[in-house]
Structure 1
Amino acid sequence: MPLSIFGFQALWSPYLMGVLIFITIVYFLVTTKWRKDFKVSEPLKKSEAIYFIVAMVIIYVVKGSPVDLMAHIMFTMHMVQMAVLLLLVPIFLIKGIPWWLWKVAIEAPVVRAIFKVMTLPVVAVFVFIGLFSFYHLPAVLDYIKLSETLHGIYTFVLFLSAVFMYWPLIQNMPDREQMKPLHKLAYIIANAVLITPACGLIIFAPNALYETYTNGEAWLKAMELCVPASTLSGLSLSGPELFTDMKPVADQQLGGVLMKILQELIFGVLIAVIFTRWYRAEQKDPEKITADALAAHQKKWESQQQHGL
């Protein structure tokens, strides 16, 4: 059965498109015409503008195009949507917003303390992995998908936790300490390891776990998240099997596998970029690096001598 039966609004989400266009216009006004109203600012870089536009386009593709509709029909597409939204978009968003604009946002009175705690590497990793894993527990996902308000709130909180998770890794604030390359590599590997159990639960489950992808009544209710109720009431639908030949268990397993593959690909690219930059930085001035290492060793030796060690 074709997806066109759900109508233009469900397929292309014109309201979301309007919101994203509005946000993009405000972004360019703030970072160009209005930036002089800030105490500290810099001209918008071409790379920042590109990153931000790419983030907006990806958000629309995964949440506003037929991809979002398919994510409510096939668990495979749901996991692809989650991987792109949570593991790719935050990278472009963090790099697309100028540091001086981030500074204004994260140093606001109420935000400052929360942001400081939530972006601590250990806290950020466990909060993101915890929220992601909790969301994909069968009872939790089925419950959340039956409420448009709850689904919207949880998705936003989960996305925010992904931004917190990436912040220590990607932020480039001039007045903040940067994570060392070796620590960045360990941080990425820890993320990859900790998310594995959630994917494993989905991949190796012998039966279909989610009612909203197998039970016709629950599925139809969950479809109200992206299809107007008035449209659904005029259709005679029994379940997702009308739109796919894939068995629920196979669909679920493929979704878990693709989530893990996409996560590994994204993290693999990050590791390659971090390692390459680290290598190039060390090659720029090897004599200075050697001198700094010897000075640190000499300082440590002198300290030990003073304490009689």
Structure 2
Amino acid sequence: MIQSLLIGQLVWNLPLLFGLIGIAAFYGLLVLRFTDGSLLSKQPLFFLLSLGLLYITIGSPLTKISHLSFSLHMIQMSIFYFVIPPLFLLGIPNALFQFRPKIRFIHPSINKMSTARNSLVIFSILLFIYHFPIVLTFILQHPLFHKSYTTLLFCLAVGMWWPIVTPDPAQRLCPDRRKRYAFLSGMLLMPACSLFIFSAFLDGTSNPLLAQLTAHLCGPDGTLMGILPSPFNTKTDQIAAGFFMLGIHKCALLATGRIRDQDKKGQTSTGS
């Protein structure tokens, strides 16, 4: 049955692949030109890993495979919003970041921490709204709107990760403030994750992503979804989806915080 659902839909996005290869090549030239680091050092590897995960997440057959169940979809989204943005920022050397063009219309007194909190709040609200079945169904029926919505969420995700993994040490949160920010982040994301968990206990909800995937098959939606193997589109799947997002978000916070702490210790020992 799963093979029938995925016929003709497991495609690779070649334009995106070539675009990401171009970005990787341009990044390599900038690193060699403006920094003393090697392309085999930790930061370029983080950056290339972020590009690789970005392609796998939105440019590979995984995009359609993730529509089979809520849990696969939430794993995909968690990687897209909670793993790729911090890896991307971790991959930008501070020396390279300092060569960014100055944006003169942004006043220097703007509180970057407030901007990050605003990004976090808006991201959490939009992510919560996105997973209401009626909203998700509408978004999926309008591909341009869907791409715009997910792109906006990704940009907001980069903004909310900024104070934790920014390339500029002066803008980075100290460990105590980072813990408070991480706690706030978890609390604001809780409603989106809880939506799946609570809906499972309230007789569950249909999967609009799977409904879109079965549109090319003949038969009622409920019948087509009901003959999938038990791990797919069940109450357990919805509960797992919520916990997967919470777990990946928490692991990403812990990992990025530890990496930045190690970087700080390395800089301190080098300076001494």
TM-score range, shorter chain: 0.7 to 0.9
Question: Does the 8 Å CA contact 1:213/1:248 hold for their aligned counterparts?
Answer: no
Partner of 2:36: 43
Distance 1:276 1:26, change over 3 A: closer
Tell which has more relative contact order, 1 or 2 (C-alpha 8 A, sep 6+). 2
Equivalent of 2:182 in 188, 202, 220: 188
* Distance in structure 1 (CA, Å) of the matches to 2:260 and 2:92: 20
Q: 2:193 corresponds to which letter in structure 1?
A: C
* Distance in structure 2 (CA, Å) of the matches to 1:15 and 1:7: 21
Q: 1:207 corresponds to which letter in structure 2?
A: D
Structure number with larger C-alpha Rg: 1
What value does the CA root-mean-square deviation take over the aligned residues?
3.2
Partner of 1:225: none
Question: Does the 8 Å CA contact 1:118/1:164 hold for their aligned counterparts?
Answer: no
Partner of 2:29: 29
The 3-state SS of whatever aligns with 1:21 is helix
* Distance in structure 1 (CA, Å) of the matches to 2:21 and 2:243: 34
- CA deviation after TM superposition for structure 1 residue 140, in Å: 1.9
* Distance in structure 1 (CA, Å) of the matches to 2:5 and 2:214: 14
The 3-state SS of whatever aligns with 2:10 is helix
- CA deviation after TM superposition for structure 1 residue 49, in Å: 1.2
Which of the pair is proportionally richer in helix?
1
Partner of 2:132: 137
Name the count of aligned residue pairs: 258
* Distance in structure 1 (CA, Å) of the matches to 2:52 and 2:30: 19
- CA deviation after TM superposition for structure 1 residue 173, in Å: 1.7
Distance 1:161 1:113, change over 3 A: farther
Distance 1:194 1:236, change over 3 A: same
- CA deviation after TM superposition for structure 1 residue 6, in Å: 4.0
Question: Does the 8 Å CA contact 1:119/1:165 hold for their aligned counterparts?
Answer: no
Partner of 1:74: 69
Instruction: Give TM-score scaled by structure 2 length.
Output: 0.79
Which string of whole-angstrom CA distances, capped at 9 and with x for unpartnered residues, describes residues 48-105 of structure 1? Answer: 2101111111112222333211222211111001111111111110011233544455
Partner of 2:208: 212
Question: Does the 8 Å CA contact 1:48/1:96 hold for their aligned counterparts?
Answer: yes
* Distance in structure 2 (CA, Å) of the matches to 1:259 and 1:191: 13
Partner of 1:19: 19
* Distance in structure 2 (CA, Å) of the matches to 1:143 and 1:88: 27
Which residues in structure 2 correspond to 1:52-67 (within 5 Å)? 52-67=47-62
Which residues in structure 2 correspond to 1:141-156 (within 5 Å)? 141-156=136-151
* Distance in structure 1 (CA, Å) of the matches to 2:95 and 2:229: 48
Sequence identity (%):
23
Q: 2:182 corresponds to which letter in structure 1?
A: I
Distance 1:255 1:139, change over 3 A: same
* Distance in structure 1 (CA, Å) of the matches to 2:83 and 2:133: 25
Equivalent of 1:84 in 79, 86, 98: 79
Which string of whole-angstrom CA distances, capped at 9 and with x for unpartnered residues, describes residues 19-69 of structure 1? Answer: 22222122223333xx4xxxxx32344222101111111112222333211
Question: Does the 8 Å CA contact 2:122/2:156 hold for their aligned counterparts?
Answer: yes
* Distance in structure 1 (CA, Å) of the matches to 2:71 and 2:178: 30
Q: 1:16 corresponds to which letter in structure 2?
A: L
Instruction: Give TM-score scaled by structure 1 length.
Output: 0.71
Distance 1:13 1:177, change over 3 A: closer
* Distance in structure 1 (CA, Å) of the matches to 2:243 and 2:171: 36
